[in-house]
Structure 1
Amino acid sequence: MSSPLRTVVWSTGGVGSIAIDAIRRRPDLELVGVWVHSEEKIGKDAGELAGGSPVEVAATNDADALIALAPDCVVYAASGPERDAGAVPDYLKLLEAGINVVSTTSTTLVYPPAYYSPEWRDQLQKAATAGNASLYASGIFPGFGSDQLALLLATQSKTIRCLKVSEIALNDHYPVADIMMNGMGFGHPLDFEPLLKTPGFIEMAWRAPIQLMAAGLGVEVEEVRGTLDRRLTDRDIEVAFGTIKAGTCGAVSTRAAGVVNGREAIVVEHIIRMARDVAPDWPTSEFDATYRVDIEGDPDIHCAMNVGAAEGHGAGHAAMTATAMRVVNAIPYVVDAPAGLLSSLDLPNTLPRHVFD
C-alpha cells in the first residue's frame, strides 16, 4: 500500500468535524494539521474539537505553519458570511504552494467556467498551474443532488424536455444568524429585503450547477431566470440561531431556470423551512432533506433521494455528513488529477474507500 495522503482540515465546524472523524478512520489518509479561527481552540487536540478521542494533532490558526507541513490536500470547510472573499486568498496560497484543495465553502465553484468572478477564477487557475495542484469544490446541493445525480439519471434518456432538481430541507439546525436572517430573510417580515432578493443574486447562486448540467448534456444555456418566494409562520419557532417570531418569514423557496432553445429547460428549486408545518402547500419531506430529480422526456424519470432519518432525528447531521464526504472521498482522485480547477465532469465517480465497518 502506498503512503497515506497527508491531509489538513480547515475549520472544525459541522462539516470540518465530520471530515476530521472520517480521515482518522481511513488508512489511506493521514490527518497532519487542522486550522481554526477561534482563539480558544488554538492548541487543543483536533480529535477532541471534533467531538471524538484525541488524535495528537493540535489545532492552529497559523496558515504558514500548515503549509510548511507540505500536505497533499486541504479539506477546506470554513463557513460564514464572507465565504469566497475569505476563502479565495487561502486557496491561492495553498495552490501556489503545491497543495491540492477540496472545498465545501465555495459552492459556486462546483463548475469553474461559470464562476461569478472571472478575475478570481483566473487567479486561481494561475495559482493551480504554478503549483501543479488542483481545486475541487463540491457538496450535496450544489455538488451532487443539484447536478451530478441528475446527469447520472439522464444516462437513461432518449430525449429531454425539462430537467428539474430540487432540495426540500428543514434547516432549523443551522446556527449562523447572519446567513439565515440577513441573507435569506428568516425571522423578518416580508417587506424586509434579504440578500436573496438582490437583483441577479439567485441567478448567480445557481448558475454553476445549471451550467454544469448543460455542459454535461452538451447544450447551451441562453440565460438564467431567478425567482424568490417566502412564507410566514403563524407561531414562534425556536431554532439554532434564535427565535423565529410569529408573523415573520419561516420558509423560503428559490427557483433558477436555465433557458435552452428559448424554453426553461434546466431548473433548480430550493425549499428551506424552519419548521415542517410552515408553507404546507409547498413540497414537503419527513427526512432531514429530500433531493428530487424530475426529467420530462422519453422516458419520464422521477427520483427522490432521502438523506437522514425520518422526522425527529438527525437535526441536519446527515446532510452535513453527505456534504463532508463528497470532498473527503474525492481526495485521492483530486490528488491524482491534472493541475487546475476541477468539476465533477473532470473526475470519475469519487467512490469511497474503507467505509465498511
Structure 2
Amino acid sequence: MSCHHSVDSWEMVGYGLPVGDPSIPALLEKGTRVFADGVYLMADCFGLELDDVTFSYELGACTEDIDLGWYRLPKGSLGANYLKYQGIVGGVPKVEVHVEWQMTPKTEPHWNVKGCYITKIQGDPCVYSKHMVIPKPGTDFTDPAAFASVGMTVTGLPALNAIRSVIDAPPGILTSADLPLRGFAGRFK
C-alpha cells in the first residue's frame, strides 16, 4: 500500500499512530467497513442469510523509523495490518474477506503480503484462485499516479460493467446477484 500516496487516507485509519493507541481499532473498522460489503455481496450471491458480520484485526508495529519519501512512520507506529470481516451463520464463519495492508515489511508481526486477490473455496472440489491486477505493458512505474490509476480503474469496473444490464432491467431494485456475468463480452473485435 506504500504506492498509494495519500497521507490523509492512511492517517484516517490509524497509520502513524503508536500501535497501542486505543483509537486504532475503531479507525480501522470505520475506514475499511466497505470490505464488509464484499461479505454481504458474496452471501447474497450464495443465497446465505447472515446472522452477523464481524470485524477482527491484527496490527503490525514498525520495527524502525520508516521514510517512504512521501510519508514518515515512527518506530512503534502502525505500519501494517491484517483485517478480517466474517459473515456468520449459526455461529460459524461462512464467508470471509481478509485484507492485508503494509507500508513496509519492517513490522512486528510481519505478514507475507501477496499483492493480489485470492479466492479460496473450501468444498468439493476446493478452489484456490490468485488474481493479479497489473498495469498495461509500458506503464511508467516511476509515476505513482500511473500505478495508482490501475486500482482506481479496477474499483470502477463493476459499475461500468453493470450499466447495460441496469438499463435493460425492469423497474425495481437489483443486486449483484441479479446481474449476469458479462466478463469480456463485446470487448474483442
Q: TM-score by structure 2 length?
A: 0.76
Instruction: Name the SS for the 2:41 alignment partner.
Output: helix
Residue 307 in structure 1 maps to residue 133 in structure 2: yes
Which residue type is aligned with residue 305 of structure 1?
H
SS of 1:197 mapped into structure 2: helix
Alpha carbons of structure 1 residues 338 and 178: separation in structure 2 relative to 1, 3 Å: farther
The alignment covers a number of residue pairs equal to: 180
- From 308, 321, 332, the equivalent of 2:164 is 332
Deviation at 1:181, TM superposition (A): 0.8
One-letter amino acid matched to 1:177: V
SS of 1:180's equivalent? helix
Change (3 A) 1:225 1:203: farther
In structure 2, distance between residues paired with 1:231 and 1:223:
27
* In the alignment, structure 1 residue 318 sits paired with structure 2 residue 147: no
What is residue 67 of structure 2 aligned with on the other side?
237
Cα distance change of structure 1 residues 232 and 342 upon mapping to structure 2, 3 Å threshold: same
- Once the two structures are superposed, residues 185-232 of structure 1 have per-residue CA deviations (whole angstroms, 9 ceiling, x without a partner) of 111111334464269758954443222222222222122221121112
Q: 1:347 to 1:239 in 2, by over 3 A?
A: farther
Q: In the alignment, what sits opposite 1:178? A: 8
Name the CA distance, whole Å, in 2 between partners of 1:354 and 1:239. Answer: 43
Alignment map for 1:192-341 (pairs within 5 Å): 192-194=21-23, 196-197=25-26, 201=30, 205-233=34-62, 234-238=64-68, 240=70, 242-278=71-107, 281-285=110-114, 289-308=115-134, 313=141, 315-341=147-173
1:187 is matched with: 16
Cα distance between partner residues in 2 of 1:239 and 1:335: 46
Please, what is the CA RMSD of the aligned residues?
3.1
Q: Which sections of structure 1, spanning at least 5 residues, go unmatched?
A: 1-170
How far, CA to CA, are the matches of 2:73 and 2:186 in structure 1? 42
Partner of 1:87: none
1:342 aligned counterpart, secondary structure: coil
Measure, in 1, the Cα distance between the counterparts of 2:148 and 2:32. Answer: 26
C-alpha distance 239-249 of structure 1, shift in aligned 2 (>3 A): farther
CA contact (8 A) 2:54 2:87 kept: yes
CA distance in 2, matches of 1:341, 1:283: 40
Q: Which deviates more from structure 2 when the two are superposed, residues 213-222 or residues 344-353? A: 344-353
Tell which structure's C-alpha radius of gyration is larger: 1
Gapped regions of structure 2 (runs ≥ 5): none
**Which amino acid counterpart does residue 48 of structure 2 have in structure 1?**
V
Aligned to 2:180: 348
Identity of aligned residues (%): 24
Aligned residues of 2:61 and 2:109 also touching (Cα < 8 A): no
2: CA distance between counterparts of 1:338 and 1:279? 53
Instruction: Tell me the TM-score normalised to structure 1 length.
Output: 0.44
Report Cα offsets for 1:5-38 as digits up to 9, x if no partner. xxxxxxxxxxxxxxxxxxxxxxxxxxxxxxxxxx
> Relative to 1, partners in 2 of residues 1:228 and 1:333: Cα closer, same or farther, differing over 3 Å?
same
